[in-house]
Every structure is written in structure tokens, then in C-alpha cells.
Structure 1
């Protein structure tokens, strides 16, 4: 029996440690270090310059050269570079002796075809430029897609908008054309519910291979999260449309943001409130600004400063803070407020993190603090 308990304890410990390992870059005094979600230092402040973890490694500087450390603070790649970028898809861009090159997490140089410009890897691919055309490069250093486009934008959700001639479409990270390049404009974020686009001067939604015009719209925004609705503008007013381009909530608001957790922040005049997917007011219009709800059911709202409400409109955390997404490209740069149970906030005392009860992590403020990221 003791042996069974021991095995179960070991398994549980392994699962917890692999799941919970997230670190945040913080600056205390003139040195950077990394804290865990208990607020304790996992890596003591010791670096004059440092970056957040990405793909399990963090770039730090020593003696005017950059290298990468692992989650224990040990060197994974010795400092030898003049400039470095974040790892993505297991590859990072580094500059040594005025030459850019790709390296793997073991520090090996990735052999790639000659290129006119180097781009960061993103979602398993990097843009590859040859003269005035761009294609895609894979993590094995081979071309995924030959240079055939005028422009390829940042990959999001495994897809990117591309320009061919004067028109725009969308490809996946295998180089396959998901939406043909036949639109004057197209959204920069793929979503199963659809992608907004403009064709023959008309705004609409591309879903299931079909362009659905949105009657009277002069702008449509990206779909977000698990909602089948996105917001659109008509005659200077904003409402919500579905994948077929149909108005589900009439355009009567002055501003709006995406639905999340069944509610969307909208503005009447200068005041913000929240509506449900029937267009009914759930939280009264009384805030100077409002963001979408996080998975924990809390949303940032602002009067003079920011606080957090629940879905009934009750103020859970007082309006005493500033919020920002920070350099949270790994977590989704648009996310403000709570991310994975922690909210990055600022006060007159500095930067810190709040839990869902409004308690300051580690009861400590820092000169700077970046969002928590996985170190797996």
C-alpha cells in the first residue's frame, strides 16, 4: 500500500510541477530576476538586462553579450551574441558580428537558404524574403512556401493574411491558401466563425468559403474567443453580426469590444456597460472604460483608475490601479486584466500582480514586472 501511495505522490508531484511552472520577469533596483506564482524568486535579481521566458529559455545579458538561461538560472546557451530575439517554435534569431542567424534551443545554427532579410519564427514558420517576394520557411530550414506574395503578416492561430498583387487573402502555416487573395481588405486573425473582409467596396464576413456582406457596414472587427458574434459599424454606430453577416444586435452603440463569457462591453456616449448576446443591458452604463471578461469571470473597468467587477456588476477589486498587456506577446498582446489567474497592475508604489481576491502577490511591488509565461 505504501508503495502505491508513493507512486501516486510522485505522479501527482510531476503533474503539478509540469503544469504550474510559470515565471515572470521583474526588476528590483537595477537588476532583473524571475518570480514564480507564489511571489518568491525562482531566479534572484542579478541581470542588468533580461527578457521574459519563451520556449523554456530566457535571454539575459552578461558582460555586454547575450545568452540564454533555463528555468534554474543556468546557462543553456553561453553569452556570445550582440543582439537576440525570443524563441518561438524552438528557433530564435540572434546577431553575432553584425550577422543575423537562426539558432535552435541547443545553440546550433540552423542552415537556411540565402535571404534578403531575416524574420522571427511564429507558429512554426518564418517569413522568407527573396528580392520583392516573400514565402515561408520551416523549422527544418527548408521552404514551406516559395516566395509568391508581396506581403505576409504575423501568424495568429496558425494563419496569416497575405497580399498577392493588390488583393488580400489568408494562408495557414503549411502555406495552403485558406481564403483566396481576392479582397481589398481582410482581417489579421483567423477564427472558425469567420474573418472580416472587404470586396468590391463592401464589408462582410468570409465563412465556410463564402463572402457574406454586412448590410450598410463601413467597418467589421475580428471574431474573438468562443463567441459566434463580432462587432461592426454602420452609420457611426456599432452593433454585432454573425458569421452570415446578419445583424443580430442592431448598431445603436458608440463603441464596443468583443463578447467573452457571454457578455460584451459597449459604450453609450462616454459611458461603458455590458450587454448579453440578446443586446440586453446586464451591467449599467457608468464606467469611463471597460475591457472584456477573463475566464475567471472578472473584467477590468475604469473610473479614474481601473478595478475589477464580476458578471453581476459587483466591484470585486477597488479602482486603484493601472492595467496593461505589457510585452505579453506570448500570452496574447490584446489581453488586459486577468490572465491565468493573475492580473498585472501598476500603482504609485510600482508594478505587481493581483490574485482573484485582490491580494498583492508576495505583498511586493517592483520597478517593473512582465506577465507570467510558461517555462516548459
Structure 2
């Protein structure tokens, strides 16, 4: 082992800490960007966040600083926009380093499906790529959009909105996860099950824990045992625990 820290590969490069500084290696372990940064994040859309002397900027895959370190905080690019903090507030900048959505929010997250979730005071809403408020900050919490829906918290219960801000599944759950295809894990009465996009409970809330669907299967827990269910709610059989 030769690195003090090593992050996952992204776009052909991995951020690693050699000595007291971070740089980037390729899949052969060769330094492509020499260790010189106080912190380095994964590449996304051709750029990566780096930190120098308590300020954040961005480098390209050659190691050139394309956005000089001048920000209080900075996130990876998503949909050609990145969250950036300046003067105590959050906004969004483009790959040229232009603050296209001026810092005005108390909190902000990466864009997903054309919308970025933002916080004003204690309320959450969404902005579009032009910086206009697309969904007014009126929720106790709001998650990123996934599959056209976003999880929101209203008076202690979780539900779902669409991209217009309409409540398409009324807040009624003790917990709700993002949709993966046409299924989302929800909690009712201390147990987990799955709903479809019509809000119908299609897999009964009978599990101690439940994960997202992937490749048609979801990981579920009952007591201290784990298994998998399919989209119909049937438990996967055939493997024997050892």
C-alpha cells in the first residue's frame, strides 16, 4: 500500500494522497497530476474540485487550474453546473467559472433531472438552470429528483412531488426512498415495503429494512437475516446460507 488516501476512479483518474498532498493517478498507478493539492475530489464532466490554502477551485484532466481557487466551498459538476459558496451563500457556476446563479441560498445541492434543490432558511425548494425558482421553498426537506419524482417532507411525513411541484403521492410515510424504476421503499408502522408510482403499496410493509431495486431485485432484511425480493415481492430462493 503506497497512498495515505485513495478515492475511486472516475473518468480514468483517481485522486490519491501521496505524502501530505493530493494528486491524480491513472489505472497503471502513474502520476498524471502531481501531488500538490490540500484536497482533491473525483472528476465529473471533465473537471475536479481541488483545494489550495482553504480555497476551492477546479482542475482539468491535464492538471491545469481552469477555475482558480477562490471559493469557500465547491461541489462536483452535474448537468454543467456546480454548487459553489461565496460570501456565506450558495449559488451555481458553469465550467467557465462564471457564477450563473448568484449566491443567494443557505444551502444548495447538485442538479438532477434539470432541477437543483436549494434551502432558504429552513425551507426547501428547487431552481431551474436559469436560476429561477421552479418549485417554491415550502418543504421541511426535499431530496433530488429521480425518475421524475422527488421525496419531500411535510409536517413529519414523507411523500413525493413531480417536476412541477405537485404532490403526486401524499405525505403519509414515516420514511420514503427515491424511486428506482417503478418501485420505492417506504416505511409504515415500523416496517418497510414498496410502492409504485401511483402510490400503491405493491409489496407489503413487512421488512425490518429494505434497499433500492437494481437489476430487478432489492435487498431486504427480516430480523437478523437478509435476502432479496423481485418486483412482485417474491423472495429469491435457491441459495442456502452457510
Query: TM-score higher than 0.5 here?
Result: yes
Cα separation, 1, equivalents of 2:26 and 2:115: 30
The answer on 1:217 being equivalent to 2:172 is yes
Cα separation, 2, equivalents of 1:98 and 1:135: 19
TM-score normalised to structure 1 length: 0.51
- 1:24-79 per-residue CA deviation (whole Å, 9 max, x = no partner) reads xxxxxxx2xxxxxxxxxxxxxx5453221122201223344322111232221122
The structure whose Rg is larger is 1
SS in 1 for 2:90: strand
- 1:274-294 per-residue CA deviation (whole Å, 9 max, x = no partner) reads xxx66466xx95x65443442
Aligned partner (choices 182, 187, 190) of residue 254 of structure 1:
190
- Quote the residue 1:190 is aligned against: 145
Aligned partner (choices 93, 100, 105) of residue 137 of structure 1:
93
- Quote the residue 1:313 is aligned against: 235
The answer on 1:295 being equivalent to 2:215 is yes
Give yes or no for contact 1:113–1:142 (8 Å, CA) kept in 2. no
The answer on 1:91 being equivalent to 2:24 is no
Aligned length: 238
1:178–1:192 Cα change, 3 Å? farther
The answer on 1:150 being equivalent to 2:86 is no
Give yes or no for contact 1:67–1:77 (8 Å, CA) kept in 2. yes
Aligned partner (choices 16, 34, 44) of residue 78 of structure 1:
34
1:313–1:99 Cα change, 3 Å? closer
- Quote the residue 2:17 is aligned against: 61
Higher strand share: 2
- 1:72-114 per-residue CA deviation (whole Å, 9 max, x = no partner) reads 3222112223332222232222234555432111101123594
State the superposition RMSD in angstroms: 3.9
- Unaligned runs of 5+ residues in structure 1 are 1-30, 32-45, 233-237, 239-252, 263-276, 321-376
- Unaligned runs of 5+ residues in structure 2 are none
Structure number with higher relative contact order (C-alpha < 8 Å, ≥ 6 residues apart): 1
- Quote the residue 1:8 is aligned against: none
Cα separation, 2, equivalents of 1:95 and 1:229: 37
Cα separation, 2, equivalents of 1:49 and 1:195: 34
Cα separation, 2, equivalents of 1:171 and 1:313: 41
- 1:293-324 per-residue CA deviation (whole Å, 9 max, x = no partner) reads 4215363545545455666424344446xxxx
The answer on 1:160 being equivalent to 2:160 is no
The answer on 1:118 being equivalent to 2:73 is yes
SS in 2 for 1:53: coil
Give yes or no for contact 2:159–2:176 (8 Å, CA) kept in 1. no
1:135–1:290 Cα change, 3 Å? closer
